[in-house]
Amino acid sequence: MSQPAARQFPQVATQPIFFNQARFRENLANKPPVVVFKDAIAGVNQQFDQRFLEGEDIRHLIHERAQFIDLILHYAWHHFDWGDDISLIAVGGYGRGELHPHSDIDILILLDNKVGTEYNETLQSFVTMLWDIGLDIGSSVRTLQECIDIAREDITVATNLIEARRIAGNDSLRDQLQILTDAKHMWPIRDFYQAKWEEQEKRHEKHNNTEYNLEPNIKNAPGGLRDIQMINWVAKRYFQVQTLLQLQGQDFFTEHEFGILRRGEEFLWRVRYGVHMLAGRAEERLLFEYQRELATIFGFQENDKRLAVEQFMHQYYKTVLALRELNDVLLQYLQETIEEKVAPTIVPINERFQLCDGFIEVIHRDVFDQTPNALLEIFVLMGQDPSIKGVRAETIRLIRERRWLIDESFRKDPENNRMFMQLFQLDYGLISQLKRMKRYGILGRYLPEFGKITGQMQHDLFHRYTVDAHTLLVIKNIRRFRYPDEKKQFPIAAHIMKRMEKPELLYIAGLYHDIGKGRGGDHSQLGAVDAAAFCQQHGFSARETRLVVWLVEKHLLMSYVSQKQDISDPEVIHNFALQVGDRLHLDYLYALTVADMCGTNPEVWNTWRASLMRQLYLETKRALRRGLENTIDQNELIEETQQLALAKLADKNICENQARAIWSVMGDEYFVREGHIDIAWQTEAIVTNPSDENLVLIRETTSHEFEGATQIFVRVKDAPHVFTAVANALAQQNLNIQDARVYSAANGYTADTFYVLDDNFQPIGDDPARSEKIRESVLEELRLVSGYRDVVSRRTPRQLKQFAVPTRTYISNDIVSGHTVLEVISPDRPGLLATIGRVFMDMDIQLQNAKISTLGERVEDIFFISDIEGNPLSDPNLCAELQKEICKQLDLRVEKDLAR
């Protein structure tokens, strides 16, 4: 790159107060230019970041950054010799004069059509220089005709050129480009709108068509900055204006709507600026690691009800929800305006509403003022007629402007109560109407308690959706149980829904089950109070009200029992049946629980949890049918299990004496907790492998209770702490233990059963090679006996690292089982169970049973333990030391993990 020794740089007319052009020009004359440019960029970036942290108006920062880059490009451009047939153009966001810390600086080097190859070398040097000084440049070099040809075929290029702005060079080239790419020459407004609409639809689909992702994309997700830009692009092209400010007073948007647009953009700009600054790169995702820091920067403080980060994300979600709503309204208004002015087809519905080309609208602007009930009626009408395409834009605007009419007297109006309940009796369209009501602000006005949970999130990986989105998803799941194609996945729930007389009671329970969240206290109790008030207001009978309130109050009971208690224990089933009381309550609770689990997190409902829920439901139904006063006799249960196992073994030519010889050393618990099919399988293997060598069996479960997991049976002689070895081996094989059962036989053998899933929470399946590899890994670990290798250490997923809460433990003695119960709540980490097993081994603690439950970023595991003699832990000091050591070791693993 050659540079004249005394090159003169034309000064830019713009004189931003934050940048001293005179000093910069002086430095360029005396120092290496790359160094001067890099120092200037670093200094200004640091200044901008400090101003951001001090709370300066984000619009100033974003526009001034673009102005500063204009200066840098201006001076860089004039390091080289150019003719009058070339121009440097800013396009895209930079063309609009908007630039975030690490956004791409999109430039177009525009050539006259007559230009050949004379600038090739100079252009290469220019672009290289821009990269050398640290600018993230997105550049293209095209002639005027090439731009026109590409823009005609590519809507993205055409869109970028709408906001083209000259930085240096021949300005007439830019003027020609804008003329030849306007709506008269290409992409007429109807085609432009349709192409951008399809582009937006695809973009939304990539983000699950929701504003409520846990780590949302600030730029591209629904309600994000692209949705604002979409409005800008279409409006500018249709109205032929440079900014939306020029449209004030032209009925495109109201002052209130323009305020929402501006405030929403400013908030998202601040969030995006903060993410870029913290990430040090062009990161568009609001990742967990930035959410907490931004909450502090934005001034949120924790209180006794919600974390600061939850308050920050609540504001984020409410903002993007409002922006998406506005995007819907304004784009639909534009579509209606763009359509040719032909006489629409009008179909009257009643004295308040009519259809206009298939879209519902008010007959006149005063409908809601004269008949406030119509604010609910419109959704009922749409639910009753699925052929209605949607709501006309002007009517949406009226709904939003008149929703304040929904006050306390409106909510108590029996006619409004009746209409609201009509929605829950629709055969189809309930969820669509509830979503519309939420988006237009009606649902949160009619049910203020629902308005409080709109956009409210919980800062964890278990609850994948905001509370309001989760609530509607639960109702949607309940509706799904009615569809024939869902019967295979949800057979019990489908059967329940088919014969349920009043499903609306279940829908209302779903609507209220989490409505008490975010207020502090027990959300189930708070929700039950709200549900009772709703039922009384909406004409439910006393019996129906009691059922709905009970469901809201107990909506966590069934999932807790299925995952945290030993449901093979008849006593557990009996106690649960006592709480349920009858088949009606069991059916409703089962359907609500399954819908709730499926709507919490896509990973929660897997074949394993489905099998636990199914077993609990079926066993409880049997207990209710038998009568709550008639408990199961354990001896009869054991004898029945053994007889069924003997029948299976007879088919394998194993006689009763052989089986009973093996069974004689096993305790009663083995026959209570294991099914006869598994007992026969394990007994056959022991008979056919009579040596003292370690035995490891692997297969897919055949037990109805544990269908959907891989079962691993381990039998070892005279080896304590088998659980530790097996847990370590399974962790090495990337397997997650879901359940562990440990039986100590009188002849020195330990027989353990493990139920495992892979990292995708699926069984291993029919994979002999994988099963053999797992078996060899377990055998190798068992051969070490007292010299187990170090606990496995695997890479922890990024998201888990953001939730390093301290480990907590709780300990108690279970009178029924005769064991000590230890509950461990800890951040989830690879090798966690092996770490706990090592602590048990070091302190001579025997594990009898384990219930493993992973809830997003944390585990809530329950261990039934005893001392070396099989007795509960009676020494308080030992219990305290055990809890302290487990917390120490698990927290140490987390600290090491975070240090990587």
**Domain 206-338 belongs in CATH node 1.20.120.330:** yes
DSSP letters along 685-743, please?
Answer: HHHH--SSS-EEEEEE---STTTTSEEEEEEEES-S-HHHHHHHHHHHTT-EEEEEEEE
Query: Which pLDDT tens digit goes with each residue over 492-540?
Result: 999 999 999 899 999 999 999 999 998 888 999 999 999 999 999 999 9
Query: Which pLDDT tens digit goes with each residue over 183-230?
Result: 999 999 999 999 999 999 999 999 888 888 888 999 999 999 999 999
Tell me if residue 548 falls in helix, strand or coil: helix
Confidence of residue 1 (pLDDT cuts 50, 70, 90): very low
Residues 623-638 as b or e (16 or more Cβ within 10 Å = b): bbeeeeeeebeeeeeb
Domain boundaries defined on the chain: 21-187, 206-338, 343-433, 447-631, 633-680, 681-899
Query: Which pLDDT tens digit goes with each residue over 7-34?
Result: 555 555 556 667 888 888 889 888 999 9
Query: Which pLDDT tens digit goes with each residue over 295-321?
Result: 999 999 988 878 898 899 999 999 999
DSSP letters along 87-113, please?
Answer: EEEE-HHHHTT---TT--EEEEEEE-T
User: What average pLDDT does range 235-256 have in this prediction?
Assistant: 84
Residues 641-677 as b or e (16 or more Cβ within 10 Å = b): bbeebbebbeeeebeeebbeebbeebeebbbbbbbbe
Contact in structure between 158 and 151 (CB atoms under 8 Å):
yes
CATH H-level superfamily of 21-187: Beta Polymerase, domain 2 (3.30.460.10)
User: Beta partners for 355?
Assistant: 347, 360
Task: Measure the CA–CA gap between 863 and 884, rounded to whole angstroms.
Answer: 16
Q: Give, in words, the CATH class of 681-899.
A: alpha beta
Mean pLDDT, the chain, whole residue set: 87
Task: Measure the CA–CA gap between 274 and 102, rounded to whole angstroms.
Answer: 11
Element (H, E) at 376: helix 374-384
Count of CB atoms situated within 10 Å of the CB of 718: 10
Residues 684-709 as b or e (16 or more Cβ within 10 Å = b): bebbeeeeeebbbbbebbebebbbbb
In this predicted structure, the answer to whether residue 460 has a pLDDT above a threshold of 80 is no
| Backbone angles phi and psi of 535, in degrees to 5 | -60, -45
pLDDT of residue 791: 47
Nearest residue to 762 (alpha-carbon basis) of 625, 611, 881: 611
Residue type, 16: P
pTM: 0.81
DSSP letters along 321-372, please?
Answer: HHHHHHHHHHHHHHHHHHS---PPPEEE-SSSEEEETTEEEESSTTHHHH-T
Tell me if residue 167 falls in helix, strand or coil: strand
Contact in structure between 671 and 638 (CB atoms under 8 Å):
yes
Contact in structure between 858 and 800 (CB atoms under 8 Å):
no
Poorest-pLDDT segment among 439-448, 450-459, 488-497, 586-595: 450-459
∠ at Cα 281 (279, 287), nearest 5°? 40
Burial class for 251, CB neighbours closer than 10 Å (0-12, 13-18, 19+) = exposed
Tell me if residue 114 falls in helix, strand or coil: coil
Tell me if residue 801 falls in helix, strand or coil: helix
In this predicted structure, the answer to whether residue 251 has a pLDDT above a threshold of 80 is no
Query: Which pLDDT tens digit goes with each residue over 845-895?
Result: 888 777 777 665 567 788 888 887 778 888 888 888 888 888 888 777 666
